[in-house]
Structure 1
Amino acid sequence: MIIIVIVILAILTYVSWINIEKLSTRIVAGLISFVLLAAAVLLLTVNMNSHYGMKKVTTSTEKTIYSAGGSKSPAGMLITQRLGTKADNYVMIYADREDSKAKAHFVPNKKKITEAIHKRATYRTADVKKATVKTVTTRWEWKNDFFKWLLEFGGEGHSLAKQTTTVTVPKKTWVVLSAQQAKQVTAKQKAASQNKAAAAAQQKQMRDAAQAKVAAYIKANPKASANDIANYSKEATAEMTASAMKQMLK
């Protein structure tokens, strides 16, 4: 509507100064139409530059994610690739469901580069049980229907102001790897599996370490249920596996 208003006021301004013969009437009509035209243009400019008539609305979503290495490995895996050289912004590979294949997330959309520059994805490790991805999105929305009716002409409503996504993974049972490090670990695991004796010895060492942790847990928690013990055993195995993977990177 604001574009239509500007066009009408521009026409009125022209007609007032050119077609009205009486000087006093021409000056009054010309000044009024010009002032209104200037105000309309200013209003449009302020809206485009400072989002006048709009407000920021923030929403947040969070969900569980799963290992890029599949469900067969006890330890979780997050593969990352930094975007640029300094920005804390990454493409990350993980699975959305336990039974689904891992895929790349947060790849910038080159067709929507203006929107892509407002998005940032990063990761952190923490003392948590599950890996999650939390997205906080801030969008520009119209303050009310009047501003929407007057100023909207290019789909400005619901436009993205900022979006920050944080992937949080358990620091003890997950491993964060770059794409190059993931290849390195895979190669070492493949080489180790070909030496059956060494592989069996390593598995026994990890199994014994996990069993020792479970035994210590049972001693410290004599009233723990069978389900609690099973969960802790699974966690201990994942922790030992993650530790072994981290050692491969050294």
Structure 2
Amino acid sequence: MIIFSVILWTILLFVFMVSVNKTALRYVLSGLSAILLVISIFLMVQNDRDHFGMHKVTTTKTQPLVSVSPSKQMSMLLYQTVGTSGKEKVYIYKTDKNQKKPKTTNPDPTITSNKVVKVNDESKLITKTTRWEYRSGTYKFWFGISGNAHKLIKRSHTFKVNKNWLVLSSAQAKKLQKLAKANQAKMKTEAKTYVTAQVKKAVTAAMTKNPSLSAAEQAKITKQATEQATAAFQKQSLEKMLSQIK
């Protein structure tokens, strides 16, 4: 509406200047039109440059974070370094397990900030978005045509990832997958040997402590020892591979 106001007062100023014969009336009407024209232009510039009639509105959105890794054994959050310094990162993530294509954060550091926090809980993404919005319907009526509504000011992403997740660059992730595939057979053999030894050790220790253990109790100990040994081996193997790609 403010643009139409500028056009209207411009036309009226011209009309009053050339069509009104009475000098006093011409000066009054022309002067009033000129003042209102200047005010309209000033307010239009203020809205465009300094967001007159607007205020900052921040919204917070929390979403579950899903691993981008195709492997069920390794949960990952990936990033890609951008810029010449390599300090800025674009994060690659998913918020839905059925999501085919991962999302990425905005690479512009002037409006986007990213932070990764390790937690013991489930992984999630907290996004805070700040935009310019009109203070009221009146301001929107006058200045809405400028297209400043919903203009993005800044957005922050906080990736709260479980402590067991890996946060790697896309290049590191590719190296890790390649390394895991190349050592798959070897790791399988080593895992079997390690788990068998740990289970035998656990059962022997339990039997030494209590020789009268029943078959059911021995089976329970075997199951627990197998799970613990498997997890321990996977952790050791992963740490070993990570040391080779970093």
Q: TM-score, normalised by structure 2?
A: 0.74
Are the equivalent residues in 2 in contact too, given 1:118–1:160 (CA < 8 A)?
Answer: no
* Coordinate RMSD, CA, aligned: 3.3
2:141 pairs with 149, 152, 157, which one? 149
Counterpart in 1 of 2:161? 169
Are the equivalent residues in 1 in contact too, given 2:92–2:102 (CA < 8 A)?
Answer: yes
Are the equivalent residues in 1 in contact too, given 2:116–2:159 (CA < 8 A)?
Answer: yes
1:58 aligns with 2:58: yes
CA distance in 2, matches of 1:182, 1:169: 17
Listed one character per residue, the Cα deviations across residues 2-45 of structure 1 (whole Å, up to 9, x for unaligned) are 11111110011112222222222222211111011000000000
Q: Which amino acid aligns with 2:27?
A: I
The higher relative CO (CA closer than 8 Å, separation ≥ 6) is in 1
CA distance in 2, matches of 1:126, 1:189: 24
Are the equivalent residues in 1 in contact too, given 2:124–2:161 (CA < 8 A)?
Answer: yes
Percent sequence identity is 28
Listed one character per residue, the Cα deviations across residues 193-240 of structure 1 (whole Å, up to 9, x for unaligned) are 14x3x542256558959x99xxxxxxxxxxxxxxxx9xx96xx66755
Are the equivalent residues in 2 in contact too, given 1:136–1:164 (CA < 8 A)?
Answer: yes
* Partner SS for 2:14: helix
Shift of the 153–95 alpha-carbon distance from structure 1 to 2, 3 Å rule, reads: closer
Residue-pair matches, total: 219
Rg (Cα) greater in structure: 2
1:79 aligns with 2:71: no
Are the equivalent residues in 2 in contact too, given 1:9–1:36 (CA < 8 A)?
Answer: yes
Which runs of 4 or more aligned residues in structure 1 lie more than 6 Å from their structure 2 counterparts after TM superposition?
none
Counterpart in 1 of 2:211? none
Shift of the 173–240 alpha-carbon distance from structure 1 to 2, 3 Å rule, reads: farther
Unaligned 5+ runs, structure 2? 203-223
CA shift for structure 1 position 154: 3.6
